[in-house]
Structure 1
């Protein structure tokens, strides 16, 4: 097995890596689709997401970042799974908010 020599002057490798140009275009398209889905999810979460966040909302926001990273970067993963997981995260947070609201209303 031939060991590849790393050179600091290899700007092509540093900037683009060993990724084919076609996949870079695919990543761009994936990013646009995931970005639009993320905008929709943030809209579903409501206007409070721009204001003061609860701990649960902060955890969901951080989780969303992790959810959208994989479908954008890994060619073996489709973006539909990422979008479904985003929607499940929204449903989870909405469920928590609903339970919290009902608990407060009953007291």
Structure 2
């Protein structure tokens, strides 16, 4: 379209584009068709897609969205090619599922492995770095699960889908507080001066310990904290 053909007063072009208004009815029909198709495809791909995505399942969902987007609004694109692509995506997903069940190595290759983000109240910084999960994001997710300080936990696993699995400690101890720093009243109530913790990884030490952290080599210490009863 030439520049002199673009007019702000041309409401027909702005709202309907260059297609006749009757095409809007076809757009509605296409949208309904693809809506039903997506529901069927998701059911065929597997129930896990509706809850937590693995890398393979997320790739399948993105491919479905990219396939359907263009022919939905373009009157020059037929519906058969995207239908064939959707069928191919579903078939590949089922093939990968079949191979994963019969080959553990392929399953790990396709879905990844769970990694340990926290071990006995101490953060595994290398694991966080490899999964591109920041401390603050992890703390935010833990607070949402009711955690006040890291000593409450025995393990935290980062699942291949990105979800967190928490293993609560049978014998909670003092640890690094993860409540927001601006909540000074709660932090003061949780303070336990019998121990100190590394503010980088949560390593627990005696109150007089002032050397470098044995776990992460940092030298930033703070009083430990205990969880308050509900």
TM-score, normalised via structure 1 length: 0.82
Where does residue 53 of structure 1 map in the other structure? 53
CA distance in 1, matches of 2:46, 2:59: 16
Q: Pairwise CA RMSD of aligned residues?
A: 2.0
CA distance in 1, matches of 2:74, 2:31: 11
User: Do the aligned residues in 1 keep the contact of 2:42 with 2:50 (CA within 8 Å)?
Assistant: no
User: Do the aligned residues in 2 keep the contact of 1:71 with 1:77 (CA within 8 Å)?
Assistant: yes
User: Do the aligned residues in 2 keep the contact of 1:34 with 1:79 (CA within 8 Å)?
Assistant: no
State the shift of 1:5 in Å. Answer: 4.2
CA distance in 1, matches of 2:5, 2:85: 40
Unaligned runs of 5+ in 1: none
Where does residue 37 of structure 1 map in the other structure? 37
CA distance in 2, matches of 1:70, 1:7: 26
More helix by share: 1
User: Do the aligned residues in 2 keep the contact of 1:71 with 1:82 (CA within 8 Å)?
Assistant: yes
Which structure ranks higher in relative contact order (CA pairs < 8 Å, sequence separation ≥ 6)? Answer: 1
Matched length: 104
Unaligned runs of 5+ in 2: 106-230
Where does residue 6 of structure 2 map in the other structure? 6
State the shift of 1:102 in Å. Answer: 0.8
Mark the CA change 1:72 to 1:44 in structure 2 (over 3 Å): closer, same or farther. same
User: Do the aligned residues in 2 keep the contact of 1:60 with 1:93 (CA within 8 Å)?
Assistant: yes
> What is the CA deviation profile of residues 23-78 of structure 1, one whole-angstrom value per residue up to 9, with x for unaligned ones?
22112111111111111111112221121111011011000001111221222222
Structure 1 or 2, whichever has the larger Rg, is 2
